[in-house]
């Protein structure tokens, strides 16, 4: 957990490999959202490797002809920024009032520090060091006093796949009575005490990422950072903020387990040739010159673990979906489960038609598929389709 | 999902075209539905931006909010929308229903997707408490629209209700595509799988439909690129021209209208195509029965509003919520049975799990008597030869969708080659005759289906009266009285 900037030779070697993977582009920072997405699909080597190297996945996906379907409306951005600015105005006066009135926190007063800029030096490492220094000091000072301290934009980092990733600082760390609370400001509305469950769930996992990283920063002591995080959001249809607490213990457990499962990046790197790179070969104007086919070939060397959930979270989703065509997993996890885990559509149809002799462990699902196919034929009067495709598919 | 529908997805993927998972249409479709496509401003809880609405395919009405962040413009939008929606709804409540009967028909709203339902709920919530006098007064139609939209949104949670239908859900219920359920939420992609344009495969058409330039999203969220590259400038132009008014303002508004039309019109076409696709399936037998429940519900709502009904409270009390949940669960169960009885392809799910079997009657004894008691009773036997796997036990009581009033108890199961021979003892539905009259029971050679599924009347569980809400559930809730605050609530 040392902040020492001097890496070991092994670390330096890993870093060199990752830099080569990324090529000439600047590394893309992680944020709580990308960590949450990565942790949601820990079996995806492609994403783990690209994220560890800080590859700009959006640019890569665009260059190979599968631009990501994500965009953010200026209206949404403007609304979010205006709301955040309003809550933080005057030393976060509105926030302080909310904490007192709704959460019963006896915060008589609170200091507000914005860590967004440390003496003009914006390097993540420097900012992280400064954050550590301030927060560690604050945590030690005078517990019991009715004075809280709010640290806005603390620069946190997280070990992902064996490498430290800095997180976009989009939170306030509230220190109060010797403990920290993560405060997240979101612009989705809480109407009659209820909000869009998907948005609350996403906010909770992001808060959990911050709690995890904050605990890490404070030396791993679980008790120093509260598992109840504070969500600030507009109330009903107004722009007035309301506040509620979110217990993220479950999300923390999931996150820890998933982060552990993400293979250490050294182990992953060993699987691929040293010259592998996702470099875009930009011309002086920054326009990618690398032949797209060649880049696609490089991407194809690293295994992906596509599920339809990726469509909501990953910049590479359209590319991976294209690759996954013909698999049952591309139709959804539940479809694959229903089909007994049989991986390829062609195999499913072969088992159903009886043209593919089932292995011992597939005897049961094969019998069920045969009966299901027979029922469909009986009731719809159609023959099972696709059997002519089987011979080509069976090899896979 | 089930094995049968998952297999259908695989077949669809391989065939390049959606595959039917139902042979009947299990949802009521009005002969004159009201199609509503709402659009809202990104990032806001409920800021209406535009809508396309109407019950005539050739005459869509387009509404727009040129300054979506202006509260007064939102209420104007609500008033405009109310004019169309209320006129449509009122048309169904014009004549008094016959004594003891619901209205002969009810107004049906169609929205593109679940987001459309959520929009109706939110717009209903933000308008139903408004007052028509005093500070922040709004036209009378606004709170009334709020009550109707709230009603429709709540009713859509009842399984089997067809008053408000998100069409993506209705289509995905009847067809399996070769893509995931998540991708099926895109109306354009879903329709492309079911009915691809000539010369195109389903997947190719679906991919093309995912391009927001070619197929704008079906709302209520707009395409971010449209927001950033088109709408943003138009909103600014309207704002700049607003002070001066006159021709420049009219021109800026016309440009906004045209841009919004480009986002709405493709979905309008898709909505009516979806209706056409659903109409290709014959209506399932119990659909009129469920629609009657909807008509009753609508009749009740009209009565409530005519008696000056108060707006629905912000949240249900404990007893009301528990009662509602229990009712939803009963309806859900009932719906599952009805759908299986109505549709052999749904029944196939139960045949696959062993809860049903279908076959041919190989023997019948319509005069068999049960002489065990004091008086001999007519209890005919039949034997059904089935190729289905029968995992049921002797003594199990079954029903046939063809004769839902007749119990069939398994007497014996024997195997004969690939077939199972199931002997059943029949009871009920045969009158007082000594021998079962023809047609009252299956005859030799008939194709029959028997299942453990039964649609039985279940008593509603008992709940305390509202005023006796136990302390564990917060005690009796305070009576809901609309407050000044409710009426004045911010909408910014």
Check if A388 contacts B (Cβ < 8 Å). Answer: no
**CB-CB neighbors (< 8 A) of A335 in chain B:** 1, 6, 9-10, 180
Cis peptide before B65 (omega within 30 of 0): no
- 3-class secondary-structure state, position B42: coil
Q: Does the distance separating the beta carbons of A372 and B180 come in below 8 Å? A: no
User: Which residue among A239, A332, A385 places its CB closest to the CB of B492?
Assistant: A239
Identify from A369, A372, A377 which residue to disrupt to test chain B contact, counting B C-beta atoms within 10 A and taking the largest count: A372
Highest mean pLDDT among A172-181, A258-267, B75-84, B312-321: B75-84
Burial class (CB in 10 A: 0-12, 13-18, 19+), B432: exposed
Please determine, for residue A330, whether its predicted confidence score (pLDDT) is greater than 50. Answer: yes
Please determine, for residue A394, whether its predicted confidence score (pLDDT) is greater than 70. Answer: no
Mean pLDDT of B324-344: 88
Structural tokens at position A180: 């920290």
Asked if residue B179 lies in contact with residue B206, where contact means CB atoms within 8 angstroms, the answer is yes
Asked if residue A282 lies in contact with residue A288, where contact means CB atoms within 8 angstroms, the answer is yes
Residue A392 is predicted with a pLDDT of: 36
Check if B389 contacts A (Cβ < 8 Å). Answer: yes
Please determine, for residue A395, whether its predicted confidence score (pLDDT) is greater than 60. Answer: no
Check if A280 contacts B (Cβ < 8 Å). Answer: no
Angle, alpha carbons A313-A319-A325 (nearest 5°): 105
User: Which residue among A191, A193, A346 places its CB closest to the CB of B45?
Assistant: A191
Residue A249 is predicted with a pLDDT of: 94
CB pairs under 8 A between A and B: 154
Q: Does the distance separating the beta carbons of A192 and B314 come in below 8 Å? A: yes
Closest-approach residue (CA) in chain B for A312: B182
Residue B28 is predicted with a pLDDT of: 98
Residue A142 is predicted with a pLDDT of: 55
Dihedral angle of Cα A377, A379, A380, A385, to the nearest 10 degrees: -20
Q: Does the distance separating the beta carbons of A239 and B11 come in below 8 Å? A: no
Please determine, for residue B364, whether its predicted confidence score (pLDDT) is greater than 80. Answer: yes
Structural tokens at position B465: 């009266």
**CB-CB neighbors (< 8 A) of A239 in chain B:** 490, 492
Please determine, for residue A105, whether its predicted confidence score (pLDDT) is greater than 90. Answer: no
Check if B295 contacts A (Cβ < 8 Å). Answer: no
Instruction: For chain A, positions 311-340, list CB contacts with chain B under 8 A.
Output: 311-312, 325-326, 328, 330-332, 334-335, 338-339
Residue A162 is predicted with a pLDDT of: 63
- Rounded to 10 deg, the angle between the A45-53 and A9-22 helix axes is 100
- Selected residue with higher pLDDT from A6 and B197: B197
Nearest CA distance, A336 vs chain B (angstrom) = 8
Check if A347 contacts B (Cβ < 8 Å). Answer: no
Mean pLDDT of A341-358: 94
Residue A167 is predicted with a pLDDT of: 85
Tens digit of pLDDT for each residue in B370-397? 888 888 889 999 999 999 999 999 999 9
What's the pTM?
A: 0.90
Residue B482 is predicted with a pLDDT of: 66
Structural tokens at position B441: 């029971």
Alpha carbon distance B380, B372 (integer Å): 14
The CATH-assigned architecture of domain A74-256 is Alpha-Beta Complex (3.90)
- Selected residue with higher pLDDT from B187 and B433: B187
**CB-CB neighbors (< 8 A) of B389 in chain A:** 371
User: Which residue among B6, B231, B345 places its CB closest to the CB of A339?
Assistant: B6
Closest-approach residue (CA) in chain B for A345: B10
**CB-CB neighbors (< 8 A) of B75 in chain A:** none
Percent of chain A whose predicted confidence (pLDDT) is above 90? 46
Residue A6 is predicted with a pLDDT of: 62
Q: Which of B40, B39, B35, B87 is nearest to B61 (CA)?
A: B35
Residue B80 is predicted with a pLDDT of: 96
Tens digit of pLDDT for each residue in B57-85? 999 999 999 988 888 899 999 999 999 99
**Residue B141, number of CB atoms within 10 A of its CB:** 19
Tens digit of pLDDT for each residue in B218-250? 989 999 999 999 999 999 999 999 888 889 999
Predicted ipTM?
0.87
Q: Where are the domains of chain A?
A: 9-71+272-324, 74-256, 329-395
Tens digit of pLDDT for each residue in B80-111? 999 999 999 999 998 888 889 999 999 999 99
**CB-CB neighbors (< 8 A) of A384 in chain B:** 11
Q: Does the distance separating the beta carbons of A328 and B225 come in below 8 Å? A: no
Residue A54 is predicted with a pLDDT of: 85
The residue assigned the tokens 């001999």 is: B376
Q: Does the distance separating the beta carbons of B2 and A75 come in below 8 Å? A: no
Alpha carbon distance B442, B427 (integer Å): 12
Check if B486 contacts A (Cβ < 8 Å). Answer: no
Q: Does the distance separating the beta carbons of A72 and B178 come in below 8 Å? A: no
| Mean pLDDT lowest among A36-40, A69-73, B64-68 | A36-40
Nearest CA distance, B317 vs chain A (angstrom) = 13
**CB-CB neighbors (< 8 A) of B68 in chain A:** 75
Asked if residue B27 lies in contact with residue B279, where contact means CB atoms within 8 angstroms, the answer is no
Tens digit of pLDDT for each residue in A261-300? 765 778 888 899 999 999 999 998 889 999 999 999 999 9
Residue A127 is predicted with a pLDDT of: 84
With bands split at pLDDT 50, 70 and 90, how would you rate the model's confidence at B151?
A: very high
Alpha carbon distance B405, B403 (integer Å): 5
Closest-approach residue (CA) in chain B for A383: B11
Residues contacting residue B482 through CB under 8 Å, at least 6 positions apart: B129, B310, B311
Kind of pairing between the strands at B61-64 and B19-20: unpaired
Residue A176 is predicted with a pLDDT of: 80
Check if B43 contacts A (Cβ < 8 Å). Answer: yes
Structural tokens at position B246: 């006159």
- Selected residue with higher pLDDT from A169 and B39: B39
**CB-CB neighbors (< 8 A) of A78 in chain B:** 43
Percent of chain A whose predicted confidence (pLDDT) is above 70? 89
Q: Which helix (H) or strand (E) holds A163?
A: strand A163-166
- Rounded to 10 deg, the angle between the A197-217 and A32-40 helix axes is 100
Instruction: For chain A, positions 91-130, list CB contacts with chain B under 8 A.
Output: none
**CB-CB neighbors (< 8 A) of A389 in chain B:** 14
Mean pLDDT of all residues belonging to chain B: 91
Please determine, for residue B119, whether its predicted confidence score (pLDDT) is greater than 90. Answer: yes
- 3-class secondary-structure state, position B328: helix
Q: Provide DSSP, B449-484.
A: EEES------PPPP---GGG--GGGTSSPPPP---H
Closest-approach residue (CA) in chain A for B121: A191
With bands split at pLDDT 50, 70 and 90, how would you rate the model's confidence at A1?
A: very low
Alpha carbon distance A185, A166 (integer Å): 20
Kind of pairing between the strands at B403-416 and B419-427: antiparallel
Nearest CA distance, B352 vs chain A (angstrom) = 7
Residue A382 is predicted with a pLDDT of: 66
Q: Which of B5, B427, B58 is nearest to B178 (CA)?
A: B5
Tens digit of pLDDT for each residue in B280-290? 999 999 999 99
The residue assigned the tokens 């939803």 is: B328
């Amino acid at each position: 957990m040392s902040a020492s900037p001097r890496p070991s030779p092994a670390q330096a070697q890993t870093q060199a490999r990752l830099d080569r993977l990324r090529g000439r582009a600047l590394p893309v920072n992680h944020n709580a959202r990308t960590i949450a997405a990565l942790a949601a699909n820990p079996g995806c080597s492609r994403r783990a490797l690209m994220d560890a190297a800080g590859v700009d996945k959006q640019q890569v996906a665009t260059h190979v002809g599968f631009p990501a379907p994500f965009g953010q409306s200026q209206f949404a951005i403007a609304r979010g920024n205006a709301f955040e600015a309003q809550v933080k105005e005057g030393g976060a006066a509105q926030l302080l009032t909310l904490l007192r009135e709704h959460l019963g926190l006896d915060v008589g007063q609170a200091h507000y520090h914005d860590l967004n800029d440390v003496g003009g030096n914006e390097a993540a490492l420097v900012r992280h060091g400064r954050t550590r220094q301030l927060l560690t000091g604050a945590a030690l000072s005078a517990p019991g006093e009715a004075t809280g301290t709010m640290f806005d934009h603390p620069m946190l980092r997280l070990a992902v796949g064996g490498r430290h990733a800095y997180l976009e600082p989009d939170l306030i760390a509230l220190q109060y009575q010797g403990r920290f609370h993560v405060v997240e400001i979101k612009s989705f509305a809480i109407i009659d005490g209820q909000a869009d469950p998907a948005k609350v769930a996403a906010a909770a996992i992001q808060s959990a990422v911050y709690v995890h990283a904050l605990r890490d920063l404070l030396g791993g002591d679980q008790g120093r950072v509260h598992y109840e995080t504070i969500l600030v959001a507009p109330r009903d249809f107004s722009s007035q903020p309301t506040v509620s607490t979110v217990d993220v213990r479950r999300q923390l457990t999931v996150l820890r387990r998933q982060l552990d499962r993400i293979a250490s990046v050294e182990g992953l790197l060993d699987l691929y040739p040293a010259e592998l790179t996702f470099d875009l070969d930009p011309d002086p104007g920054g326009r990618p010159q690398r032949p797209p086919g060649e880049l696609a070939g490089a991407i194809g060397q690293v295994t992906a673990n596509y599920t339809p959930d990726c469509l909501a979270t990953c910049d590479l989703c359209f590319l991976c979906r294209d690759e996954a065509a013909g698999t049952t997993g591309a139709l959804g996890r539940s479809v694959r489960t229903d089909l007994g885990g049989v991986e390829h559509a062609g195999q499913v149809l072969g088992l159903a038609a009886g043209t593919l002799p089932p292995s011992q462990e597939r005897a049961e699902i094969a019998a069920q598929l045969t009966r299901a196919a027979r029922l469909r034929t009986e009731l719809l009067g159609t023959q099972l389709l696709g059997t002519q495709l089987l011979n080509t598919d069976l090899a896979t | 999902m089930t094995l049968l529908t998952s297999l259908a997805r695989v077949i669809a993927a391989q065939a390049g075209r959606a595959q039917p998972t139902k042979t009947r249409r299990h949802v009521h479709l009005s002969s004159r539905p009201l199609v509503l496509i709402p659009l809202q401003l990104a990032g806001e809880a409920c800021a209406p931006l535009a809508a396309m609405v109407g019950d005539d395919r050739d005459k869509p009405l387009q509404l727009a909010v040129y300054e979506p962040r202006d509260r007064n413009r939102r209420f104007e939008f609500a008033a405009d929308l109310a004019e169309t929606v209320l006129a449509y709804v009122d048309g169904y409540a014009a004549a008094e229903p016959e004594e003891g009967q619901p209205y002969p028909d009810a107004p049906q709203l169609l929205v593109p997707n679940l987001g459309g339902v959520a929009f109706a709920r939110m717009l209903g919530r933000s308008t139903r408490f408004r007052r028509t006098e005093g500070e922040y007064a709004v036209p009378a139609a606004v709170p009334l629209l709020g009550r109707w939209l709230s009603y429709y949104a709540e009713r859509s949670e009842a399984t089997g209700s067809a008053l408000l239908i998100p069409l993506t859900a209705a289509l995905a219920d009847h067809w399996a595509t070769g893509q995931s359920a998540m991708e099926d939420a895109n109306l354009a992609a879903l329709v492309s799988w079911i009915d691809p344009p000539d010369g195109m495969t389903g997947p190719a058409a679906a991919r093309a439909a995912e391009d927001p330039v070619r197929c704008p999203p079906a709302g209520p969220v707009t395409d971010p690129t449209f927001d950033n590259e088109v709408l943003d400038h138009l909103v600014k132009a309207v704002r700049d021209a607003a002070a001066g008014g006159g021709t420049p303002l009219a021109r800026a508004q016309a440009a906004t209208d045209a841009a919004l039309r480009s986002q709405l019109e493709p979905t309008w076409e898709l909505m009516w195509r979806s209706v056409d696709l659903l109409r290709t399936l014959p209506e399932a037998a119990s659909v009129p029965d469920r629609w009657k429940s909807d008509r009753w519900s609508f009749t009740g709502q009209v009565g409530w509003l005519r008696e000056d009904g108060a707006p629905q409270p912000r949240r249900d009390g404990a007893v009301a919520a528990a009662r509602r949940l229990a009712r939803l669960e009963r309806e859900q169960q009932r719906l599952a049975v009805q759908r299986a009885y109505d549709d052999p392809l749904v029944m196939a799910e139960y045949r696959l799990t062993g809860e049903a079997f279908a076959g041919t009657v190989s023997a019948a004894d319509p005069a068999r008597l049960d002489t065990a008691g004091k008086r001999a009773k007519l209890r005919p036997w039949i034997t059904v030869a089935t190729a289905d796997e029968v995992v049921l036990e002797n003594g199990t009581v079954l029903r046939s969708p063809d004769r839902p009033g007749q119990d069939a108890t398994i007497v014996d199961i024997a195997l004969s080659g690939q077939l199972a021979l199931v002997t059943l003892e029949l009871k009920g539905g045969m009158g007082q005759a000594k021998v079962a009259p023809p047609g009252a029971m299956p005859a030799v050679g008939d194709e029959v289906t028997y299942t453990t599924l039964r649609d039985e009347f279940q008593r509603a569980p008992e709940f305390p009266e509202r005023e006796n809400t136990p302390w564990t559930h917060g005690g009796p809730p305070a009576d809901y009285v609309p407050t000044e605050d409710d009426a004045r609530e911010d909408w910014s």
